[in-house]
Structure 1
């Protein structure tokens, strides 16, 4: 076999050697950069960081937000928090990547505002005394089948929503049952709400076959019972008055349209409404006594504000109403469902 002739070449010059070395360095740096970029994950938004892996179990942590009270990441798919109020709050939900909002509060959700930002609202209210088996199953199926990420809220985001989120995520198999207490403590859930703690601690994964067979018509709004409706109105007026007291009875920049005397008047009327009709007929006398005293205190607060009495006099009425609320809740509202 004949060999092919080998082309004879002159040895490379010193200049060629330097150029080759420089080119080799450039190629090596370029390849290193490409490989590093390929190896490093892309920067993610808050929502992407939280919800990229639907099966990952994460440690519960606070979510930094400006317009969403007490936001806590409960699972890779679920954030718990307080009521979103106004365009800025819904815009922040949208920026977090939220697709579905679940309200466990009794108040009517702002469905129209949610639609403006492409969000779906689902209303699954429950009380402070715990979460029923039926509601647990509905919440578990919701976080399993509704478009995620999901934001679950109550009013303040401290008690009902973290309990609901923990129960839902545990029952749906998204987080370990052992995480329940830590989630409630992180959110600041008061130990006075024994029913909420019991519901969270007792939560266990529900079989996929059970959730698959469960038929739920998820509505954007449900009508609360008369008692719940009045309690919601009382809570809102009371919250406004407590904020006025904390701000030395000055107008709030957040709610410049609110007037303290008018809020006291509304609170008095809400308490008065509790003493009429079905609520009065079905309530125990001890409960009605607390409502009557709170009504009188609200009337005294209104008079104190209109007559220009100093802060100390007004605060005495606020404290009296607050004490009645705490005692009443402990005796009647927060009793666990199992008792």
Structure 2
């Protein structure tokens, strides 16, 4: 008898389940159908039952909406993950932010290293959260920050990296996990649907291993513009990739006996992405005055050589890989002589 009322309002639950506090308002509506003296008896059962129903409906809704959508002006690789979560490329210019406004986005979450366009976002009444990370791993601090964004930021959310294909979908998958919209398999499905490359093994690993923090876990403060890694620090990481590639080159691009865990193409992948991100950062106005045209030219050439190296190794073309690596060595040596070793 108690479940009869539940069945009668199930359709209403489906219509309202995407609204904030829908379970509380619906439960209150049902309780009012009972005499006051009985409400305290049925309340615990309804609280549990409504929670399960709403959670199931949200899960179904999220699973059904994991699909790539047609591009909108200024937005690429656009993907809707639920009624309130989108992922895609970096929004650049008025048309991109106007598209986000059309989608009803309230908060943008950037996981890219580039400085977010806060002023443009404010122009359209949209908030920004900056949680940058690289292609090799999603650090625990980042996972906790994404959890906080999932729990506290105004929705709908738009989550982006640069192109919206690798880091952005990985972050969106964690946000969906934190919101209880998908399980681990569902999170990986988000990345698969987005076309996230399996080459970025650390992203896949960390999304799969993500555990939703308890409510008692301290979460980092969110900021509009995060402090990103300095160019010297980025170059230190690049040097380590370069050293590992030198070891692999000496063994015809195989893993050296002393370092059997090294993968030449994985090292080339990380080198390529780090050089590319460094090059992008230098293109920002605030960094332009700090480095002259020759430095930017050498960095751009190194960026291109690293991309050629990774492509050659991925194709198992060791001859082209060696040629690209020699070009990269030449550029790096010239840059070090002119700028680092003075």
Q: TM above 0.5, one fold? A: yes
Aligned with 1:149 (options 144, 153, 156):
156
- Residues 296-311 of structure 1 aligned to structure 2 (within 5 Å): none
* Cα displacement (A) at 1:162: 0.3
- The 3-state SS of whatever aligns with 2:82 is coil
Quick check: 1:234–1:267 contact (8 Å CA) kept in 2?
A: no
Task: Report the Cα distance in structure 2 between the residues aligned to 1:158 and 1:148, rounded to whole angstroms.
Answer: 21
* Cα displacement (A) at 1:76: 3.5
For 1:168, the equivalent position in structure 2 comes to 175
Task: Report the Cα distance in structure 1 between the residues aligned to 2:162 and 2:131, rounded to whole angstroms.
Answer: 13
Unaligned runs of 5+ in 1: 1-39, 239-265, 274-290, 299-317, 330-339
For 2:208, the equivalent position in structure 1 comes to 201
- Residues 189-268 of structure 1 aligned to structure 2 (within 5 Å): 189-210=196-217, 214-227=218-231, 228=234, 231-235=276-280
* Cα displacement (A) at 1:209: 3.0
- Residues 14-53 of structure 1 aligned to structure 2 (within 5 Å): none
For 2:296, the equivalent position in structure 1 comes to 270
Larger gyration radius, structure 1 or structure 2: 1
For 2:143, the equivalent position in structure 1 comes to 136
- The 3-state SS of whatever aligns with 1:155 is coil
Task: Report the Cα distance in structure 1 between the residues aligned to 2:141 and 2:205, rounded to whole angstroms.
Answer: 16
Quick check: 2:145–2:221 contact (8 Å CA) kept in 1?
A: no
What TM-score do the two structures reach when normalised by structure 2?
A: 0.55
Quick check: 1:140–1:169 contact (8 Å CA) kept in 2?
A: no
* Cα displacement (A) at 1:322: 2.5
Quick check: 2:114–2:280 contact (8 Å CA) kept in 1?
A: no
Task: Report the Cα distance in structure 2 between the residues aligned to 1:220 and 1:49, rounded to whole angstroms.
Answer: 31
* Cα displacement (A) at 1:176: 1.9
Asked if residue 64 in structure 1 is aligned to residue 70 in structure 2, the reply is yes
- The 3-state SS of whatever aligns with 2:129 is strand
Task: Report the Cα distance in structure 1 between the residues aligned to 2:156 and 2:204, rounded to whole angstroms.
Answer: 24
- The 3-state SS of whatever aligns with 1:74 is strand
- The 3-state SS of whatever aligns with 1:73 is strand
**Distance 1:199-1:116 versus aligned 2 partners, 3 A rule:** same
What TM-score do the two structures reach when normalised by structure 1?
A: 0.55
**Distance 1:328-1:91 versus aligned 2 partners, 3 A rule:** farther
Unaligned runs of 5+ in 2: 1-10, 23-53, 235-273, 284-291, 315-342
* Cα displacement (A) at 1:271: 6.2
Quick check: 2:144–2:220 contact (8 Å CA) kept in 1?
A: no
* Cα displacement (A) at 1:267: 9.0
For 1:25, the equivalent position in structure 2 comes to none
Task: Report the Cα distance in structure 2 between the residues aligned to 1:207 and 1:164, rounded to whole angstroms.
Answer: 19
Task: Report the Cα distance in structure 1 between the residues aligned to 2:111 and 2:204, rounded to whole angstroms.
Answer: 16
* Cα displacement (A) at 1:135: 1.1
